Amino acid sequence: MLLRMATRSEAAAATRRSLLDAAQVLLDIGGPEAVTLREVGARTGVSRSAPYRHFADKEGLLTALATNAWSELGDALELLVASGNPPEQSLRAALLSLIAVGRTRPHLYRLMFTTPAGDPTALARAAERTQDLFLDLVGRIVGAKRARRYGALLLTSAHGITGLELSGHLVWDKWQTDAEQLIDTLIALLPAAK
């Protein structure tokens, strides 16, 4: 039996992935302040200089985390676009996917909506891809001409809902509703395509 040795590029990719995984754990535990290249390297078991071969600085590492989050959300939306489900169902799932990131990974969610330092080209591409897929879903309901206006309304509403939840201000006792019901209401208010 022959064992294949990992190529240098495969090893580098695996190290980068390990560094990102460790950074994600630190981000989840303590927010961006908890993420340092030194601690990420220590948790990964690499040399002190190894993280710097993959990320110029902490901001580059945080930008990579946000880029990955947008890419993963885009992958989920791509599946929804291709699903063949009723457009309202897919749109609901898309909006709730965004809210779920805020619920389960609030520091990552905030990072996704923070303007990164340095060159955010990959982040901008990942966010744009996700937003374009979202606009496709919205356009299936309201029509392509009105997709941008209603898409912006829906995304800003979902962002507001998430913010209210994260801050503890979207509470049942006060509003007699929750995020899911608000999303359902927003979708029900959308006009049909002309």
Crossing angle (nearest 10°) for helices 147-167 and 87-104: 30
| pTM score above 0.85 | yes
Tokens 């599946």 -> residue: 79
pLDDT for the residue 193:
77
pLDDT for the residue 89:
98
How far is the C-alpha of 163 from the C-alpha of 9, rounded, in Å?
40
pLDDT for the residue 5:
58
Q: What whole-number percentage of the chain has pLDDT above 90?
A: 86
Let me know the angle formed at the C-alpha of 155 by 69 and 135, rounded to the nearest 5 degrees: 85
User: Residues 75, 48: contact at Cβ < 8 Å?
Assistant: no
List the domain boundaries for the chain.
8-55, 57-189
Q: What does each C-alpha distance from 41 to 8, 47, 53, 60 come to in angstroms?
A: 19, 7, 11, 15
pLDDT at 118 over 90: no
How far is the C-alpha of 84 from the C-alpha of 97, rounded, in Å?
18
Give 2's pLDDT tier (boundaries 50, 70, 90). low
* Average confidence (pLDDT) over 114-126: 87
What is the CATH T-level fold of the domain 8-55, as seen in this structure? Arc Repressor Mutant, subunit A (1.10.10)
Largest CA distance in the chain: 66
pLDDT at 1 over 60: no
Q: What is the CATH number assigned to the segment(s) 57-189?
A: 1.10.357.10
pLDDT for the residue 23:
97
